Amino acid sequence: MNWPGYIKPEEDEIFTSWFYRLSKEHRIKSHTFSKFFFDGLPIWNRDIDQYCPEIIKRKIYEHTPLSKDRIENLFLSSFDGIVFNDVISTKSLLSIGINHRKRRKFGLLYCIGCLEKEVKFFKKSWRLTSSLVCLECSLKLLDSCPHCNSPIAFHRLENGIKGKIPENDLNSCYKCLRDITKTDKIYADDDSIKYQKYINNTIDFGFNDLTQYSFTFFSVLHELEHKLYSRSKKWNKFRIEVEKYRSISMLNKNLNRIKSREESLLITYELLESWPQKFINFLSGRKLTYSDFSKDFRDIPPFWFSNVLKFNI
C-alpha cells in the first residue's frame, strides 16, 4: 500500500530532500516518519544520501509507485562508475562533516534560482565537488546561508518544535530561519559556464575527449586540485609551479569552501583542457617528477594521464 501522503521526487532530487518533503506532506517529523515506516532507523546521524541501508530502499519500493531504478537514482551511489568508482574514499563528493545531527562542513550546495521555484528541493549534483554553477539558471552555487554563514542543514529545521509539524520550506536557513534565496544573485561568467558544461556533459555521457571512463577524469581533476592546497614541504611542488604559472597564491585558500574551489577547479580544468597540449606546455621546463603527481592516487594514475607524464617530465 502506498503511503497516504506520497509525493513524487523531483528530477535529480536527492533522497534527504525528498524525505524531508515527504514527512512534511504526512504532517509528521522525519523522525516520526522513520519510526512508522523505516523501522525507526536513524537517518540524520549518517550521510544517508551516500550510504543508504537496503531496508530503507525496500520500504520505499513497497510503499510508493517508484521503480527500483528510480529509487537508486535518489542516492549519490547512482554516480558510481561515472563520477567515482569508490564511494568510500572519493574526492568527488563533498563532505558534510556529520557530527551527530550537526553538519560541520559546507558540503551541500544550492542554487538561489532553483530554490525560488514553487517546488523547493535539493539536487544530487549539489553534493558534487565539481559543481560550481547551475546551468539552468546561469547562477553560481552557494554553500552557506547568506545571512548567517551557517552550513545548509535543512533537517535541523525540525529542531526545537516539539510535537509541532515542521512548517518551513527548504529555502529556510535552519539557524536564522531566514530565506536563503533572499540575497543578490551572482551570475556565472563565461569560463565557469564553459567548465560546468564540460563537467555535466562528462557525467551525462560517462566519457569525454580525455577518457572512455569518466571516473578517471574526475579522479585526476580532484587529485590535481587537492595538490593546489598542499602544505606539505615535500609534496608542494605542483602547487608552487602552478602559482608561478598563473601568478596566483593559494595561501589562505580553503578547499572546503566553494569560493576557493571556484578558483582551483577552473585552474585545474584549464590544465586538462585541449588535452594534452596545454598540460605539456605547463610541464615543460619545470622540475616536476612523476611521484609529484602519482603519490596520492589510490591505485596508479590512469593510463591517459600517466602516459603523458612519463613522456614529458
- Please state the separation of Cα 227 from the chain's center in Å: 19
Residue list 13-32, contact with Zn ion (CB under 5 A): none
* Count of residues engaged in binding Zn ion, rule: CB under 5 A: 13
Instruction: Report in angstroms how near the CB of residue 168 gets to Zn ion at its nearest.
Output: 12
User: At its nearest, how many Å lie between Zn ion and the CB of residue 117?
Assistant: 8
Asked if 127 and 145 touch (Cβ cutoff 8 Å), the reply is no
The residue range among 1-9, 54-62, 141-149, 181-189 that interacts with Zn ion, by the rule CB under 5 A, is 141-149
**Minimum separation from the CB atom of position 139 to Zn ion (A):** 6
Kindly state the smallest distance separating residue 118's Cβ from Zn ion, in Å: 14
Give the separation between CA 192 and CA 138, rounded to whole angstroms. 10
Tell me the residue type at 118. E
Cα within 13 Å of Cα(100), Cβ side: 1
Contact 20, 7 (CB under 8 A): no
Question: Measured from the CB of residue 135, what is the shortest distance to Zn ion in angstroms?
Answer: 8
Cα torsion 137, 103, 71, 6: sign: negative
Enumerate residues 94-123 that contact Zn ion by CB under 5 A: 111, 113-114
- CA–CA separation, 157 and 149 (whole Å): 16
Angle subtended at Cα 257 by Cα 172 and Cα 230, rounded to the nearest 5 degrees: 165
Among 31, 63, 101, 147, binds Zn ion (CB under 5 A): 147
164-203: which residues touch Zn ion (CB under 5 A)? 173, 175-176
Closest separation in Å from C-beta 39 to Zn ion? 34
Pair type for strands 133-134 and 139-140:
antiparallel
How many angstroms separate the CA atoms of 129 and 203, rounded?
Answer: 13
With CB under 5 A as the contact rule, the residue among 148, 161, 165, 186 that binds Zn ion is: 148
Helices (runs of H) and strands (runs of E) counted in the chain: 12, 4
With vertex at residue 119, the alpha carbon angle to CA 158 and CA 43, rounded to the nearest 5 degrees, is: 35
| Contact status: 145 vs Zn ion (CB under 5 A) | yes
User: Which of residues 175 and 227 has its CB atom nearest to Zn ion in the complex?
Assistant: 175
Q: Given the rule CB under 5 A, which of 29-37, 50-58, 130-138, 298-306 is the region that contacts Zn ion?
A: 130-138
**CA distances (Å), origin 176, targets 145, 207, 279:** 9, 42, 46
For Zn ion, the closer of residues 171 and 219 by Cβ is: 171
- Using the rule CB under 5 A, is 127 a contact of Zn ion? no
257-296 residues in contact with Zn ion (CB under 5 A) are none
Among 14, 137, 199, 309, binds Zn ion (CB under 5 A): 137
Q: Which residues bind Zn ion (CB under 5 A)?
A: 111, 113-114, 134, 136-137, 145, 147-148, 150, 173, 175-176
